[in-house]
Chains A and B, each alone.
Chain A
Amino acid sequence: MNYKEYKTIKKIKGDLLFVEKTHLISYGEIVKIKVGAGDIRLGQVLDTSKDLVVIQSFEGTSGIDKSASIRFLGETMKFGVSEDILGRIFNGRGVPIDKGPDIIAKEELDVNGAAINPYSRISPADFIQTGISTIDTMNTLVRGQKLPIFSASGLPHNDIALQVARQAKVKNQKEEFAVVFAAMGITNEEAHKFIKEFETTGALSRSVVFLNLANDPAVERIVTPRMALTAAEYLAYEKDMHVLVILTDMTNYCESLRQMSAAREEIPGRRGYPGYMYTDLASIYERAGMIKGKKGSVTQMPILTMPGDDITHPIPDLTGYITEGQIVLDRELHRKGIYPNIDVLLSLSRLMNSGIGAAKTREDHKQVSDQLYANYAEGKDLRGLVAIVGEESLSEKDKRLLKFADMFEDKFVRQDYYENRDIEKTLDIAWEIMSTIPPDELTRISPDTKKKYHKYKR
């Protein structure tokens, strides 16, 4: 291997270094940039030709001048894995930062992974109980799914993610999920909170944590989720574990992608984001799934904050096109002091129907979910009407629906941060709030089911 060092930087721009007169460098190769004594930074080759190599520094370019020396390592970005990664905390580039021993890698895996052959996949169909009523009943998560949380600044998405990570389990199975947690561009304060939470609940021993903080270089964020997914795939497909991957915050990831694209002078697409953002995001999100002949699975819960609460912004929009649904958080519920502030009407799980039913959850699950959805939607519409015409002019039925919407938010949506409701409990609460509605108004529920579960109280 040619370990020659070059001092032939021609141009520095943003996080990019343009180096000439090198030997032949492969695309995607990892680079060490020696700035001064003890200051060695990592970078990656973005564009390579016989005359010029473009390197992107993972640790910024500030302080680098044309005299910095460049060493090409001859290999692409890899992450060393072994069972020992469980319980450890890494930085965004996969270097341990928890003062623990070094990881003795059993295998060095390419962080970019490879596409799962669609023919080798299994359709996800195992119900995951998160203990959160709104998710379990109306937006059911299944093993191997990718279900993002669409949030906005100032909303408790991280708490919800932590609660899911703490409580998630497959019904009737003792085994817990291993959690791979990747933070991109979060603040030091938030990072502390996460780690403390993991430590106090004992979850850390079955977790792998990657932390890229807000003051870490933006480009490093491009590798962080890939590191995390490489760890997850190793645990799932080599070590037969069921892995839940939490990626927060994908908005910061996309911002870095845009920043890099701009530095490379690429032609921007919608709102300045690069045209390949769809494919780039797909290469992350599509690394969820279940594979024929493998016991483990990778389930993803990416979190993104919608800029300006705008769901049509390219980040949530493209994400929604790849993921199998979304959990949307609502600011109004949050203002009312309701936690978790999940807006069930905008949320959706595309794989829900394959994960529920008599054998998996309970026979009445689908019907209850449809009915809650219909009644809450109607009740919420009526709130708008009441503001105009006043409650007196409503019919009895409408008054009931209006009351139902309030009860739904207060009893069904609202739950404590430490409250873990199993699916039976959740469905029972649903029947309890539906007990105020006469049977003939429950149009989405079959007579048999009503007979068994519905107790109408006038």
Chain B
Amino acid sequence: MKKKKRDNMETKQNTGEIYRISGPVITAEGLSAKMHDVVKVGNEKLIGEVIQIEDNRIIIQVYEETTGIKPGEPVENTGLPLSVELGPGLLKSIYDGIQRPLPELEKQTGNFIKRGVVVNSLDRNKKWDFVPTVKKGDAIEGGAIIGTVQETETIKHMIMVPPKMKGAIKTIEKGKFKVEDVIAELDGGEKITLMQKWPIRHPRPTKEKMPPEVPLITGMRILDALFPLAKGGTAAIPGPFGAGKTVTQQSLAKYSDAKIVVYIGCGERGNEMTEVLTEFPELEDPKTGKPLMNRTVLIANTSNMPVAAREASVYTGITIAEYFRDMGYDVSLMADSTSRWAESMREISSRLEEMPGEEGYPPYLGSKLAEFYERAGRCVGLNDKIGSVTVIGAVSPPGGDFSEPVTQNTLRIVKVFWALDAKLSSRRHYPSINWLQSYSLYKKTLDPWYDKNVDSKWSELNNEAMKILQEEEKLQELVQLVGSDALPERQQVTLEIARLLREFMLQQNAFHKTDAYCSLDKTKEILNTILWVGQKAYAALDKGVRARDIVAIESRNTISEAKFNEDYKKVLDKAKKNIEAELKKLVEDI
């Protein structure tokens, strides 16, 4: 007993005792701690994080089940904030909310997740082939790239100096190393390993954030043309069931021009998460023909896994995304769903007996959401490389009610809203993104890029298309009342042009080899053709041709063949020629 007391005295700063346990919230006393320090709780060393400090007591949120833990058990402070391990081996991984690899957990504790398991996030024994890019004597600063590792067939992993280090290279190695091996030493004695750690609640530093002037090209016509997302931008998708959220996300992962994909399954259903975990590894990367997992990191924290880990999962994900951004890659991060994340904040907040805000959510809900989305961006890194993190967050409002706080706060922050619509998908209109409810606030800043890089008329064409689609909506209401025959001739033609836009431009088959990805040029050509048909049709109408004859010309539907043909220009030219001929004949027949 005496000895124990002395031990306690010596390590007074670092260990203390549990005073109180209430669900995932534990109060400890007798140790000093900083906010957000990681602590090991109880004899089983459960992972927890300091979330409040009061007098001589600290309050800890525990990332694992606390049943069976007693007051008086030890609490040990690691003195470090909750961090992730960053280095080769991240790609292809499947992690839980606090970066423990799920396959490794399975090996250690079987099919059910037991608590108190310590697993390394990165494999400690695997050797990586390190190729240095600097030499002895080179002066380097934090963020500098000192070498590369071919992590997967698709991705070269840049080994960077941790942000706060600085100096001249004293030694640098070449060859096969484990993640913890020292591969370089600076003249100041700092050692650099393949792996570094970073606290998840702190954004990784950059030199400068750039304006959202470059689009993330998705290969989906409706997104690229009408609701573009900037690289480093933020978007929200509401996910009513059956609206094809999964297909949309997978298309974005496969075809968008982001190099790295980070997918966070946050508080979702176990069976659905399994679908993602089994389907993603089987997806083929259309660009390389290799597995898509080669450039993917998955994070899965289902609804019955500890709530505190759910809260941490989005930060774990975005820190990993930022790390790849710092290498100069474009990263897209998908968080599914941010509503579940917000609910985990609500739950922890109520355990802390904080004063609730709207619908029981903590009053800081809005600022937490904003902080998270603010970590997106296209940035100049410390090493002058330009990379980006684009965040696409799914929101699942209870009862489909968009006025609830999470959706409202999210919509205040994000710049793009892709409204998935179950009605469209039940009509087999894919991608089922509603063009009247969706919006993109990047359109204005991105138009100059498109006008310069695709076609000078790009923005004009899109605005024109949007106008027709909006007019269609109004006309449809009329049609329902009076029938389409009663509409004025000109408007009957407009309805037909809108149909062409909907079916040949907005609809896209994600499972067709050619149609799944549509280049910007092809998008423009299709759009251009349809609008050209419009002009010709109106002209014919002015010459006295009846609307019902115009909307019935046969060759108009041949435009759709362009979607499925690599040589779309030829198909469209042919379609144009035939349409022109048919219209000409109608004019002559009057």
Interface string of A274-306 (1 = CB under 8 A from B): 111011001101111101111000000000000
Q: Note all chain A residues with C-beta closer than 8 A to B94.
A: 119
CA distance A78 to B208 in the complex (A): 57
Interface string of A199-216 (1 = CB under 8 A from B): 000000000000000000
Any chain B CB within 8 A of the CB of A82? no
A227 to chain B minimum Cβ distance, whole angstroms, is 15
Q: A153 at the A/B interface (Cβ < 8 Å)?
A: no
Q: List the B side residues contacting A237 at CB < 8 Å.
A: 111
**Are B350 and A48 interface neighbours, CB within 8 A?**
no
Interface flags, B302-343, vs A, CB<8A=1, else 0: 111111000000000000000000000000000000000001
- When A and B form their complex, which 3 residue pairs have the shortest distance between CB atoms, in order from nearest? A49-B20, A28-B67, A282-B303
B106 & A117 in contact (Cβ 8 Å cutoff): yes
Chain A residue at minimal CB-CB distance from B105: A117
Listed by A's residue number, 10 A-B pairs whose Cβ atoms lie within 8 Å are A115-B302, A119-B106, A123-B278, A266-B350, A275-B349, A276-B307, A278-B347, A282-B304, A286-B269, A324-B269
Contact residues of B: prevailing secondary structure: mixed
| Contact present for B67 and A270 (CB under 8 Å) | no
Please state if B303 and A322 are interface contacts (CB–CB under 8 Å).
yes
| Residues on B with beta carbons closer than 8 Å to the beta carbon of A27 | 21-23, 66-70
Residue A47, interface by CB 8 Å = yes
Please tell me if the beta carbons of B359 and A48 are within 8 angstroms of each other in the complex.
no
The reply to whether A28 and B360 contact each other, CB–CB distance below 8 Å, is no
Across the two chains, which residue of chain B brings its CB closest to A286? Answer: B304
CB contacts under 8 Å to A, within B396-441, are: 396, 398-399, 401
Name the B residues within 8 Å of A48 (CB-CB): 20-22, 70-71
The answer to whether the Cβ of B274 comes within 8 Å of any Cβ in the partner chain is: yes
Judged by a CB distance under 8 angstroms, whether A267 is at the interface is yes
B226-282 interface with A by 8 A CB criterion = 241-242, 265, 267, 269-275, 277-278
Residue among B272, B304, B398 with the highest chain A CB neighbour number at 10 A: B304
- Contact residues of B with A, CB < 8 Å? 19-23, 27, 65-72, 94, 102-103, 105-106, 109-114, 241-242, 265, 267, 269-275, 277-278, 300, 302-307, 343-344, 346-347, 349-351, 353-356, 359-360, 396, 398-399, 401
- Chain B residues contacting A50 (CB-CB under 8 Å) are 19-20, 71-72
A259 within 8 A of B: no
Residues on A close to B: CB < 8 A?
24-29, 46-50, 76, 110, 112-124, 144-145, 237, 266-270, 274-276, 278-279, 282-283, 285-289, 291-294, 311-312, 314, 317-318, 321-324, 348, 350-351
Known contacts A27-B70, A49-B27; A119/B102 CB under 8 A: yes
CB contacts (< 8 Å) of B343 on chain A: these are: 278
Residues in B with CB closer than 8 Å to A124 are 271
- In the bound complex, do residue A275 and residue B347 qualify as a contact, i.e. CB atoms below 8 Å apart? yes
CB-CB under 8 A from B351, the residues of chain A are 276
Interchain nearest-CB distance for B531 vs A (Å)? 30
Q: What's the Cα separation between A289 and B343 when bound, in Å?
A: 24
Given contacts A26-B69, A286-B304, contact A118 B21 (CB under 8 A): no
* Of listed A267, A275, A283, residue having the most chain B CB within 10 A: A275
Contacts of B241 in A (CB 8 A): 348, 350
Cα-based distance from A348 to B240 in the complex (angstroms): 12
Hey, which chain B residues are within 8 Å of A285, CB to CB? 304
B350 A117 Cβ-Cβ under 8 A? no
Q: Contacts A276-B347, A312-B399; is A117 near B111 (CB within 8 Å)?
A: yes
A24 vs B72: C-alpha distance when bound (angstroms): 7
Contact A116 B111 (CB under 8 A): yes
Report the separation of the CA atoms of residues A26 and B68 in the bound assembly, to the nearest whole angstrom: 5
Which residues of A lie under 8 Å from residue B20 when comparing CB positions?
47-50
Contacts of A29 in B (CB 8 A): 68
- Tell me the smallest distance from the CB of B364 to a CB of chain A, in Å: 15
Complex-state Cα separation, A50 to B106, whole angstroms: 36
Q: Are A269 and B111 in contact (CB under 8 A)?
A: no
A76 to B111, CA, bound (A): 22
B residues in contact with A120, CB < 8 Å: 106, 110-112
Given contacts A49-B19, A282-B303, A317-B399, contact A122 B70 (CB under 8 A): no
A403 to B: closest C-beta gap in Å? 23
A114-B360 in contact given A24-B72, A123-B274, A348-B241 (Cβ < 8 Å): no
Q: Which residues of B sit under 8 angstroms from A274, Cβ to Cβ?
A: 350
Alpha-carbon distance between A431 and B484 when the two chains are bound, in angstroms: 34
Residues of A within 8 A of B68 (CB): 26-29, 76
